[in-house]
Amino acid sequence: MKIGAKILLTCWLLCLSSQALAHKPSDSYLAISVDGADLHGRWDVALRDLDNPLVLDSNGDGKLTWGELKRRQADIAHYAFSRITLASDGQNCPIQPGEMLIDHHTDGAYAVLMFNAKCALQPARLAIDYHLFADIDTLHKGLVSVVNDGAIATAILGLDHPQETLDLHGKPLANVFIDFMLEGMGHIWRGFDHALFLIALLLPASWVARGRSWQAVASPRPVVLELLRIVTAFTAAHAITLTLAAFHLISVPAVLVEIGIAVTILLAALNNIYPLVQRRLWLIAFAFGLIHGFGFANVLIDMALPPLHLAVALAGFNLGVEAGQLGIVLLLLPVLYLYRQEHWFKLAALYGGSAAISVFAVSWIVERCAILSV
For 223-253, what is each residue's pLDDT tens digit? 788 788 888 888 889 889 988 988 888 888 8
The whole-angstrom distance between residue 179's C-alpha and the CA centroid of its chain comes to 15
Report the pLDDT value the prediction gives residue 14, as an integer from 0 to 100.
41
Q: How confident is the model at residue 30 (pLDDT cuts 50, 70, 90)?
A: very high
Neighbouring C-beta atoms of residue 176, cutoff 10 Å: 24
Q: Looking at the structure, tell me whether residues 138 and 260 fall in a common domain.
A: no
Mean pLDDT along residues 303-318: 86
Q: Which whole-number Å values give the CA distances from 367 to 12, 33, 327, in the listed order?
A: 25, 38, 29
Mean pLDDT along residues 68-89: 94
Domain that holds residue 228: 2-23+191-373
Q: Looking at the structure, tell me whether residues 237 and 359 fall in a common domain.
A: yes
With a cut of 70, say whether residue 5 has pLDDT above it.
no
- Domain termination residue (choose one: 143, 171, 199): 171
Burial of 206: CB neighbours in 10 Å, binned 0-12, 13-18, 19+: buried
Report the pLDDT value the prediction gives residue 13, as an integer from 0 to 100.
46
CA distance 350 to 357: 11
With a cut of 90, say whether residue 98 has pLDDT above it.
yes
Rounded (10°) angle between helices 307-338 and 281-301 = 140
Report the pLDDT value the prediction gives residue 170, as an integer from 0 to 100.
85
Residue 177 lies in a domain: no
Report the pLDDT value the prediction gives residue 24, as an integer from 0 to 100.
54
With a cut of 80, say whether residue 283 has pLDDT above it.
yes
DSSP letter (8 states) at residue 227: H
Q: Looking at the structure, tell me whether residues 205 and 218 fall in a common domain.
A: yes
Q: Locate all alpha helices (DSSP H) within 22-118, ordered by sequence.
A: 47-54, 66-71, 73-81
Q: Looking at the structure, tell me whether residues 329 and 196 fall in a common domain.
A: yes
CA distance 94 to 86: 7
Highest mean pLDDT, choosing among 4-8, 152-156, 223-227: 152-156
Q: How confident is the model at residue 333 (pLDDT cuts 50, 70, 90)?
A: confident
- Tell me if 316 sits within 8 A of 180, measured CB to CB: yes
CB-based burial, 10-46: b 16+ in 10 Å, e otherwise: eebeeebeebbeeebbbbbbbbbebeeeebebbbbbb
Q: Looking at the structure, tell me whether residues 97 and 85 fall in a common domain.
A: yes
Going by C-beta distance under 8 Å and a sequence separation of 6 or more, which residues neighbour residue 158? 130, 134, 139, 140, 141, 142
Report the pLDDT value the prediction gives residue 371, as an integer from 0 to 100.
64
- Tell me if 201 sits within 8 A of 230, measured CB to CB: yes
Mean pLDDT along residues 364-372: 78
Report the pLDDT value the prediction gives residue 198, as an integer from 0 to 100.
86
Count of domains observed in the chain: 2
- Tell me if 242 sits within 8 A of 298, measured CB to CB: no
Mean pLDDT along residues 157-178: 91
Q: Looking at the structure, tell me whether residues 11 and 43 fall in a common domain.
A: no
With a cut of 80, say whether residue 191 has pLDDT above it.
no
Mean of the per-residue pLDDT values for the chain?
85
Residue 184 lies in a domain: no
Q: Looking at the structure, tell me whether residues 231 and 279 fall in a common domain.
A: yes
Highest mean pLDDT, choosing among 40-44, 244-248, 277-281, 310-314: 40-44
CA distance 3 to 8: 9
